[in-house]
Every structure is written in C-alpha cells, then in structure tokens.
Amino acid sequence: MPAISHLLTGAKQLSIDLTEPVVFLKVDANDPSTHVLRGEVSVVLTKPITATQVTIRFTGKCSMVWPEGVDTKISKILHEKVIYEEDLILQSFPDQPKSEGILNPGLHRWPFQFLLSNQLAETIEDVRGKVFYYMTATIHRVGVATTKLRARRDVLLLRTPDWPNDDNNTHSLMTSEHHFNIGDTSIHVEKTICSSGTEMPISLSILPKVKHVSIESISVIITEKRVYLLPEFKASRVELSDFKVALSNATSLFDDPTIVQPSFKDIQRSLSVKNAHISLNEGPLHHRLVFLLPNCYHLNHSTTYSDISIVHTLKINIELSYAGDTRIPIRFETPITILDCRLREDHTLPTYEEALLYNTIDNEEGKPTESFVCPRYLSYKKKGKGTQRDRAKPRNETALYHNNNPPPSYDDL
C-alpha cells in the first residue's frame, strides 16, 4: 500500500507529498501513452545548512523468491533487480564555491513531475514475486560530520480499464453455443475483466428438445498460471492453481413465472457433486448465475510483466445425460483479466454529509455488501481519504467553536 515516510534529523523534517499517490495504468500494456506523477519535496529547517544538491529518484524493483535456489549451481534464494530508475535534480548550486549553497531556516519546497510510461510493469504482490515502486528524496551535503537528509515514499501502480468509456460492455459478450440432437446450450459471460473478490455473472441456458435429459454436473473454475523468469540466470518456474468459484445467486431469465425450472438448490447440487441427475423433463434451465470470485489472499491479479507473468482462464464444464446412459460433455474456456482488488466499479457518488463524516469509511466494514470486501481495499480507501479528513477537521472544529458563542446583544454595542 502507498505509505509516506519522513526522515527526522534533529529539527529537520524531509517529506515527499504527492498530488495522487496512485498511478492508474491503462489495461493495454502496449498503449504508448504516459502518466504524470506530480508532487513536492519539502523540508523544515530551524537553522541554516549547507547543501550541494536536492534530488529525487523514482525506482522500480523486481524481487523473486526461489526456495530451491536459482539453479543447481547457484543457491541464491532471493533475487532483486532494478527494472526502472529516473533521477531529477530539484536544486543545485553550480555558481557557488565548491557548488555548495545555503538553505536558510524555514520551509523549503521543491515541486517535481515524473512522466511514467504506460508500458511499465504494474505493482505485483505475489508470494514468490513482487514488483514495487518508491521515491527517494535526498538533500546532499559534504563534510565528514554531516549526513545526507533522506525521505522515501512508496508509489502504487495499478492497471485498470477505462470504466467510463467502457460502459461495462466493451469486455463482455463472450458467448458459446452448442447444438446437439437432444437440445441446445448457451453460455454467456457478461464480464471478462473484473476485480478479485467481486461478482462474475454468467448466463446459462440448457434447452432440451427431447425427454429424459438431465444435468449431471456443472463446474466453473478459474485457472491461474504463474510463470517466473530470470533471463540473466536462464531460470524459470511455472505454477498452476485452480480456484472453484462459489455460487452466490441464481435468477430465472424467463418472463413467465409459471414455467417450471430447476431450483436454486438443484443448481447448487450440480455444482458440488458429479452425478446430480437433475431432470429437465418439467422445464429447461435458463438462469443468470452470479459467482463470487476468490479474494486477493488466494487469487492474484493478472500481470503484463514478462518476468512475472500471471494469466487467468475461465473454464466451464457441463455434463448432460440422456436416458441415463449417454453422457454429453460441454467444454468452454476463455481468457479473463483479474484486476487488483483495490479496483472496483463505483457508479455512485457520496452525499455531502458522507464525504465529511470521519467514520464513513471506518463503518464500511459493517455495511451489507454484495461481495467480499477486502481489507486491503478498505485500507486503500482510508489512505485516499486521509488528506480530505485533515482538511475538513479544522473547518468543522472552527464552525462548532463559533456556533457555541451567541452573538452580542444590541445593548452591549
């Protein structure tokens, strides 16, 4: 998570403040656009100091864990390398003797701006591989008894689609139709880009043409493939994990409520056992099934970084039976993109009172939600609202103070 860090040395305080602590990258890593990261470095001095330069560095690193060692010859377990680095000189003193200048007592501020490519790897927080970014501000000083002043701040890079322009329809309409002599099936995946811990709706239709057609099993699985590469050591590692998603809701898509269909319990049973034998003699299956994706503690988000490649595939397997003997398997696979759990679709704006209340976000954990609320998501929202609270608090206290004092009477004027 983004975190601000201050360095205290006596009466000096050096800090890095950002206009936006999160950089939102576009979902297409090949997009040539750039993103602006703005902020300022500030320091409070109680006495003058000499300095040669004031600099800030933006660094991106990749860290991997190899429990068995990188290879048979190298027993190195942890490998870390710099994948991006950029330096800015905020102030220098080239015209002064020895290129040294004096920073007088008081508050000093240096604005800065980084142009970050959309092709940068997003922040990755996997157990075996991580990509993280941070900034380091430094006031350089010379002399044996002097020390450099430093401050560090972490920066979060999240890859997200452009929700307002997508209108929730650009990454949908993944449909698969199967036609057999005994009936027709249709699978419709409404979203192929969604955040971990949120809902994934899938419309499923099984329309039999003859009697004695039954549903034996339905399986909805997300497969996560993780590939770790170290090109400099020619080392690689591949891991696969299957996550069975849970059914949270099922809604009939028929307008006529009198049509007999399999119940919610029947659909749940077909998802949990192999031979459910749910008969479709009395009515077809035509439902919108809402599945709950695993949260970020189990499911990583998809990545675009070549050295830590994490891709996801949605697999739907359906098995039908006819007359108790003939088995008809139906297979459907499609690649999907899992976003960071801190990226959620939010189409509602808070009221004026909610925006100023201090406990709005703190009480969010107790509110009923349609899906899992990740603690990292709540912590992320709290940090994003922290600056607004700090600005609102003095104004509220001042308003209460003046409200407690009644206006003077006319006799006293």
Domain CATH number, residue 306: 2.60.40.1930
Residue 60, domain member (yes or no): yes
Specify the residue for token string 């088995």.
327
Residue 179, domain member (yes or no): yes
Q: Are residues 275 and 321 in the same domain?
A: yes
Q: Are residues 187 and 327 in the same domain?
A: yes
pLDDT of residue 391: 36
Task: Give the list of residues 6+ apart from residue 239 with CB closer than 8 angstroms, or none.
Answer: 128, 225, 226, 228
pLDDT of residue 197: 87
Residue 327, domain member (yes or no): yes
pLDDT of residue 132: 96
Amino acid at 52: T
pLDDT of residue 57: 97
Cα R_g (the chain), whole angstroms:
29
Q: Are residues 128 and 178 in the same domain?
A: no
Q: Which of 290, 313, 339 is the last residue of a domain?
A: 339
- Average pLDDT by stretches of 10, the chain with 413 residues: 42 83 87 93 91 95 87 76 96 81 92 95 93 96 83 92 51 77 91 88 92 93 95 90 93 82 90 90 90 90 93 95 87 92 61 48 44 54 48 39 52 55
Q: Are residues 158 and 185 in the same domain?
A: no
Q: Based on DSSP, count helices (H) and strands (E) in the chain, helices before strands.
A: 4, 23
Q: Are residues 206 and 239 in the same domain?
A: yes
DSSP per residue over 126-180, as a string? -SSEEEEEEEEEEEE--SSS---EEEEEEEEEEEE--HHHHTTTTT--EEEEEE-
User: What's the rounded Cα separation, in Å, for the pair 243 and 314?
Assistant: 10
Q: Are residues 130 and 197 in the same domain?
A: no
Residue 106, domain member (yes or no): yes
Q: Are residues 201 and 112 in the same domain?
A: no
Domain CATH number, residue 139: 2.60.40.640
Q: How many domains, the chain?
A: 2
Q: Which of 339, 364, 381 is the last residue of a domain?
A: 339
Look at residues 178, 289, 294 and name the one whose alpha carbon lies nearest to residue 243: 294
Look at residues 315, 333, 206 and name the one whose alpha carbon lies nearest to residue 266: 206
Residue 113, domain member (yes or no): yes
Give the domain range for residue 335. Answer: 174-339
Q: Are residues 157 and 207 in the same domain?
A: no
Q: Are residues 83 and 181 in the same domain?
A: no
Look at residues 167, 174, 166, 203 and name the one whose alpha carbon lies nearest to residue 191: 174
Residue 372, domain member (yes or no): no
CB 342, CB 213: distance < 8 Å: no
CB 223, CB 313: distance < 8 Å: yes
User: What's the rounded Cα separation, in Å, for the pair 332 and 337?
Assistant: 16
The H or E element that residue 395 is part of is helix 375-403
pLDDT of residue 307: 95
Q: How many CB atoms lie within 10 A of CB 197?
A: 23
Q: Are residues 36 and 147 in the same domain?
A: yes
* Partners of 225 in the β-ladder: 240, 311
Report how far apart, in Å, the C-alpha atoms of 46 and of each of 10, 11, 43, 106 are. 9, 6, 10, 6
**Dmax (CA) of the chain:** 101
Q: Are residues 113 and 18 in the same domain?
A: yes
Q: Are residues 29 and 68 in the same domain?
A: yes
User: What's the rounded Cα separation, in Å, for the pair 186 and 173?
Assistant: 12
CB 122, CB 304: distance < 8 Å: yes
* Partners of 201 in the β-ladder: 290
Report how far apart, in Å, the C-alpha atoms of 229 and of each of 73, 79, 85, 234, 298 are. 17, 11, 21, 8, 22
Residue 377, domain member (yes or no): no
pLDDT of residue 42: 95
Q: Which of 339, 358, 373 is the last residue of a domain?
A: 339
First and final C-alpha spacing in the chain:
57
Residue 98, domain member (yes or no): yes
Q: How much is the pTM?
A: 0.76
